[in-house]
Structure 1
Amino acid sequence: MTSRLYALMFFFLLAFGLLALRAWQLQVLEHEKYALRSQGNYLKTEGIPAPRGRILDRKGRVIAQDRLVVDLVYEGGEVAFKERLLPLLGLKELPKVQGPTVLKAGVPEHLLPTLAEIAAGQKNLKLVERIERSYPNPISGPVLGYVLQANAEQVKRGYSPDEQVGQAGLEAALEAYLRGKRGVKAVEVNVRGERLRETILEEPTPGQDVVLTLDLDLQRVAEKALEEALADINAGRRSKGLPPATRVKGAIVALNPKTGEVLAMASAPSFDPSLFAKRPVPQEVQTLLKDKDLPLLNRAVQPYTPGSTFKLATSYTLLEEGYVSPFTAFRCSPYIVFGGQVRRNWATRDMGPMTVKEAIAWSCNTWYYQAVAQDPLGVVDRLAARARLLGLGEATGLEIAERTGLLPTRVWKREAFKEPWYPGETLSLAIGQGPVLTTPAQVARMLSTIVNSGEKPTLHLVKRLGPREVKPRLEPIPGRFWTILQEGLRKTVKEGTARHILGSFPVPTGGKTGTAETPGKRAGLEHAWYMGYGPAEPGSPYPPLVVVAFFENGGEGSRVALPAVRKVMAAYWQVEEAQAR
């Protein structure tokens, strides 16, 4: 019996000794290790949102920036002071929710003190700060783009779920520069999960500011010129017995041809980019996404049939490839017959013999038919190659996503349609009809190349990325007849198809009208174009400018696009509109 008692006492002593030894190990030897582990129970790290960089115009005026907004978040259950809260929010009852729900997004500043007083001490009602994109001076939504909270795919790539991400336009194209680097903070909470204090471990780094080449004043003029063109479009439709249009669909691009800086880029119809930044995203966004007129589409960089603006590329090709000389004359007849088909001019009268300069000025279709009919199968591939040299059918260099269009060749048709190129197709191509497609931005670049006497600019919408200036780039293009093309463009205004609008304009300009037929559409629904530049004579004190206006199914270029270009020119050179008429 005694031996059993001794054994039991030894067992208990050993057990207590081991417990004491373990306690000494935990409290003395491993104190620091477990102190830190214990601290982790009430310290957690959270990300600190980084503001996106600002977008500014060339004069430093803010187009887009971040702002701090406050949301009222409700997590369900009973709320004190409900009789005060509900009228402030315009509610009759609190919603039945499971989990956090925003009762009021973007609380107005005058309500913040009252709501803070009501929410104080209530676990299920709190004011939460977040960063929201705002647009103090918004420009065309299709150009500027918009931001949305990161989706699942973007979260996988390293974005935070609450981070704003550029989804289109400049906001998307400049994402790498505008996006900042998130900070980190340590948050101390008690056992009930209540926040006690915060310590910033790493400050957030804001995104870089981006200065655009756009001029807000000229941008607004271009956007207004698009809107005001609706009256001219409908006047043309009435004359053709067509129903009126309810919205303008088109684009205007204005740039400095010497540098490639885009001074204005407007697209219609447009939208308010701030709609996408709101939380929750309003119903208007779904309406925009379903709109058949595609208001999210930037028409300045979408390809369309160029019509007679393409005749400058044809003229360049004919001269440089030796098909015509500056003195070669063809009769501008009302029509010609080629391959058994009647090919008509826009004018029903015989306009007499013309050289290439008069053909440009009067946009004579039959002159171009006769010129390319000399070698209809040989000229088509040369025309595509020369047009590309001028900047058509290729990216312009713009920072935003753009389509490249189409310059058809014999090989392209054989591969695409398994049939040969027919001679008659070259006649259509020569006047900018058929499968050829170019964007308004490309047409502006082509005109810039011609007025620069063969210096093709790279177009750009960005003037400065953070501290780095974006330098202009010019590419020399071979050519011997730039002066002839410039004289043809000048004749268009002095005596040709643009004389009625710009003939008495105070600044000497040149340009080219364009009316592009659209397959399956009635007369009066053509695409309307005008490309113009100035000053078109040496010694003028005015700064250089190229403007292209395009209207989808707008009708005649001289009726619709030409007046829109005149408005932009008058504003840029500060010429009174009454005087410009």
Structure 2
Amino acid sequence: MNSRIWILLVFFYLLLVLFAARLWQLQVMQYEQYATRSQGNYLRTETTLAPRGRILDRNGRVIATNRLAVDLLYLGGEVLFKDRILALTGLKALPKVGHEPVELMVNIPEALVPTLAELVAGEPNLKLLERIERVYPNPIAGPVIGYTALPSQEQLKEGYDPEELVGAAGLEAALEQQLRGIKGVVLAEVNARGQRVRFEEIREPQAGTDVYLTLDLSLQQVAERALREAVVDINRIRQRNGLPLVKQAKGAIVAVDPRNGEVLAMATAPAFDPNLFGRRPRPNDKIRELFSDKDRPTLNRAVNAYPPGSTYKLVSSSMALESGYVTASTTFRCSPYIVFGGIRRNWARVDMGMMTVQEAIAQSCNTWYYQVAMLDPIGMVDKLHKRALELGVGRPTGLEIGEQNGIVPSIAWKKQNLPKDPRWWPGETLSIIIGQGYNKATPVQIARMLATIAQNGQQPELHLVRRIGNQEIRRPSSRVSGRYWRELQEGMRKTVTWGTARHVLGNFPVATAGKTGTAQNETLTPGLEHAWYMGYGPVDPSDPRPPLVVVAFFENGGEGSGVALPAAQKVMAAYWKVGQPLTDQ
């Protein structure tokens, strides 16, 4: 019996020695290794999102900013104040939870946050989550300002946080580099459920830079309202032509300071409220409806290219004068029609007599320009191409947002783009000289062209950003050669005093000049033409008012003089405060 007890004691002593040796190994020999591993279980590095920079108008009025949003998350399991939580959230029961927490309440009202914070304190299965939300207190047209979204997979690989907002369209996307802040870094101690116990801020988040636009919010609102109101004029023309009526206009209005290229207003219609994309939960049904709308409310028509119609006659007039095809005193008869190549090209019902280039601009006489084209229908093509590019048509204007180039055809262009019919036909010159045929230009390009003519060849580079933080943005201007600016200006002045714009602007308190345009499109249906008007003023050098260039465009609007002209007049009246004050709507 004694020998058995001794054997048992020796066994236990050996076992204790082994345990002691193992403890010594773990706590002494391998202390650093296991201490580091243990610490990693409850210490982790987290990022703190930085707010995006604000977007403001030229006068400091906020267009886009941020707000702190709070959501209530349910992690699963029992909840101590269940009935109270359900009553506050409006739910009948707690939902089932899978691998991810469930949002019980999104965008908690500010007045309710303290109450929920008190209920959630010490509650392991509930969590209040703070996040940054993009809001637009003074929203301008969504296609212009754009919107933000959560990052894509590619952007996540580039270093974006899953909850970080990224500019997805418009100015929000174009200014992403300036608006994006720098994330903060936090060393957090968390419990087994991943909840913070305490934390230490290693690097504070740095907000993005504020961006001041060239836009004047009040003028922008007037331009957007003018687009909406134009539906009355559009439907009057449609009714006259037996066409179905529309509920909204499709078009754009651009207002520019010709001295420096600052865009004071860029409106497009139809549009959308950018706040739609900032809401959570996201209204996906409304967003799908927005992108499937046949009227394309996500399209910024100010930078989209369309047939320019008679606004292009300023390019043609400038080319004809500078190239020596005509002089200031050259006259052609403004006949009702002309026959060329066996084809009769109609224009008007009456013979308007002999006209110079000024009068042809004022009355927008197609047959006058046809006769110019007939002087050299092949050799003139590339000269028109060159002059259009010089005046700013068919190439980007310098805007920070994306824009189409448009089309200014040349003989080489047709060979490259229309290989099935590469030859340039003389009759095609008669089309392009009046802004039809292959020509396409954007409203912002027409605005820059008009600014160039109004300033005797001094061409500004258009821009939407006036200041980034404290840094002023200045864009260079260039010089376009020419000797006949005065002829073009006088022709557009006569448009207002004697020609196609007289019925609206003839008695306007500010002396202006301009050009109407009605461009046929692929439908060739009367009443569905694209409507244009471009105008500038004051033309009186003694007038102290600041200069302004306005271009109004309406897709399938009908008539330039009946739709685009009245819309442009509203913007002019608001800017110069004559008959219609600048008001916020």
Partner of residue 544, structure 1: 547
Give the match's secondary structure for 2:307: coil
Q: Could you tell me which residue of structure 2 aligns to residue 295 of structure 1?
A: 297
Provide Cα deviations, 1:156-203, integer angstroms capped at 9, x if missing partner.
Answer: 111111110001000000000000110100111234544211111110
Q: Which residue of 1 aligns with 2:134?
A: 133
Q: Could you give the per-residue CA deviations for residues 101-139 of structure 1, whole angstroms, max 9, x where no partner exists?
A: 222211111222332233333322221100000111111
Q: Alignment partner of 2:375: what SS?
A: coil
Aligned to 1:319: 321
Q: Deviation at 1:143?
A: 0.1
Residue in structure 1 matched with residue 39 of structure 2 by the alignment: 39
> Is 1:330 matched with 2:349?
no
Cα displacement (A) at 1:92: 3.0
Structure 1 window deviating more from structure 2 (526-535 vs 466-475): it is: 466-475
Q: Distance in 2 between matches of 1:370 and 1:463?
A: 45
In structure 2, the residue matched to 1:455 is: 458
Q: Aligned partners of 1:194, 1:248: CA distance in 2, in Å?
A: 53
User: 2:105 aligns to what?
Assistant: 104
The DSSP-based 3-state class of the residue aligned with 2:561 is helix
* Alignment-derived partner of residue 82 in structure 2: 82
Which residue does 2:350 correspond to in 1? 349
TM, length-normalised to structure 2:
0.93
Q: Alignment partner of 1:115: what SS?
A: helix
Q: Following the alignment from structure 1 to structure 2, what is the Cα–Cα distance between the partners of residues 516 and 109?
A: 53
Cα deviation, residue 17, structure 1: 9.5
Partner of 1:48: 48
Structure 1 residues 119 and 17: CA distance shift in structure 2, 3 A: closer
- Counterpart check, 1:503 vs 2:497: no
Residue in structure 2 matched with residue 304 of structure 1 by the alignment? 306
Say if 1:250 and 1:335 are closer, same or farther in 2 by CA, change over 3 A.
same
Give matches, 1:175-214, under 5 Å: 175-191=176-192, 193-214=194-215
Q: Which moved more, 1:316-325 or 1:276-285?
A: 276-285
Larger CA deviation: 273-282 vs 382-391: 273-282
Which AA in structure 2 matches 1:53? G
Deviation at 1:23, TM superposition (A): 6.2
The residue aligned with 1:474 is 477
Partner of 1:379: 380
- CA separation of 1:380/1:206 partners in 2, compared to 1, >3 Å: closer, same or farther? same
Report how far residue 32 of structure 1 moved.
5.8
User: What residue is the counterpart of 2:241 in the other structure?
Assistant: 240
Deviation of residue 87 (structure 1)? 3.7
**Which structure 2 residues correspond to residues 369-408 of structure 1 after superposition, within 5 A?**
369-408=370-409
Q: CA–CA distance in 1 between the matches of 2:432 and 2:345? A: 13
Q: How does 1:135-284 map to 2 (within 5 A)?
A: 135-191=136-192, 193-282=194-283, 283-284=285-286
Q: Which moved more, 1:484-493 or 1:120-129?
A: 120-129
Aligned-residue offset at 1:89: 2.7
Change (3 A) 1:109 1:502: same
Deviation at 1:19, TM superposition (A): 6.4
Q: Distance in 2 between matches of 1:119 and 1:452?
A: 66
- State the shift of 1:332 in Å: 0.4
In the other structure, the counterpart of 1:558 is: 561
1:122 match: secondary structure: coil
Displacement after TM superposition at 1:24 (Å): 6.2
Q: Percent identity?
A: 60
What's the counterpart of residue 431 of structure 1?
434
Aligned letter for 1:461? Answer: L
Q: Distance in 2 between matches of 1:258 and 1:115?
A: 56
Residues 234-243 or 116-125, more deviating: 116-125
User: Which range moved further: 466-475 or 72-81?
Assistant: 72-81
Cα distance, 1:75 vs. partner?
A: 2.8
What's 2:446 paired with?
Answer: 443
CA shift for structure 1 position 241: 1.2
Name the CA distance, whole Å, in 2 between partners of 1:441 and 1:53: 27
Of 352-361 and 116-125, more deviation after overlay is shown by 116-125
Q: Distance in 2 between matches of 1:19 and 1:313?
A: 97
Q: Which amino acid aligns with 2:574?
A: A
| Partner residue in 1 for 2:61 | 61
What is the distance in 2 between the residues matched to 1:177 and 1:325? Answer: 51
Following the alignment from structure 1 to structure 2, what is the Cα–Cα distance between the partners of residues 357 and 426? 21
Rate the CA distance shift 1:208–1:358 in 2: closer, same or farther, 3 A: same
Aligned equivalent of 1:524, options 484, 504, 527: 527
1:91 matched residue in structure 2: 91
The alpha-carbon distance between structure 1 residues 77 and 18, as it changes in their structure 2 partners (threshold 3 A), is closer
Cα offset for 1:82?
Answer: 3.5
Shift of residue 78, structure 1, vs aligned partner: 4.1
C-alpha distance in 2, partners of 1:221/1:162?
A: 36
* Secondary structure of 1:158's aligned partner: coil
Secondary structure of the residue aligned to 2:313 is helix
**Greater CA drift, 83-92 or 22-31:** 22-31
Q: Deviations over 1:67-101 (max 9, x none)?
A: 11101112334434333333433333333332212
Cα distance in 2 between the residues matched to 1:472 and 1:411: 32
Query: Structure 1 counterpart of 2:375, which letter?
Result: Q
**Which secondary structure state, in structure 2, belongs to the residue aligned with residue 376 of structure 1?**
coil
CA distance in 2, matches of 1:40, 1:129: 25
- The offset of 1:61, in angstroms, is 0.8
The answer to whether structure 1 residue 572 and structure 2 residue 575 are counterparts is: yes
Mapped partners of 1:401, 1:509: distance in 2 = 31
In 2, Cα distance between equivalents of 1:453 and 1:427: 27
CA displacement at 1:472 relative to structure 2: 2.9
Aligned alpha-carbon RMSD (Å)? 2.3
**1:339 equivalent in structure 2:** 341
Which whole-Å CA distance do the structure 1 matches of 2:414 and 2:18 have between them?
94
Could you tell me how far apart the structure 2 residues matched to 1:150 and 1:193 are? Answer: 24
Letter in 1 for 2:68: L
Where structure 1 has 5 or more consecutive residues not aligned to the other structure, the ranges are: none
Aligned to 2:71: 71
Distance in 2 between residues matched to 1:145 and 1:216, nearest whole Å: 16
Paired position in structure 2 for 1:285: 287
Distance in 2 (CA, whole Å) between partners of 1:135 and 1:114 is 28
Q: Could you say if the C-alpha distance between residues 78 and 37 of structure 1 is closer, same or farther in structure 2, counting changes exceeding 3 Å?
A: closer
Provide the rounded CA distance (Å) in 1 between the counterparts of 2:117 and 2:105: 13
- Residues 35 and 146 (structure 1), Cα distance of their counterparts in 2 relative to 1, 3 Å cut: same
> What are the Cα deviations for residues 282-317 of structure 1, in whole angstroms up to 9, with x where unaligned?
131111111111111100000001000000011111
CA distance in structure 2 between the partners assigned to 1:267 and 1:153 by the alignment: 31
User: Using the alignment, how far apart are the partners of 1:193 and 1:213 within structure 2?
Assistant: 47
Determine helix, strand or coil for the equivalent of 1:167.
strand
Deviation at 1:42, TM superposition (A): 1.6
Residues 192 and 568 from structure 1, CA distance in 2 versus in 1: closer, same or farther, beyond 3 angstroms? closer
Specify the SS of the correspondent of 2:130.
strand
Indicate the larger mover: 555-564 or 28-37.
28-37
Secondary structure in 1 aligned to 2:133? strand
SS at match of 1:546: strand
1:36 Cα shift?
Answer: 4.4
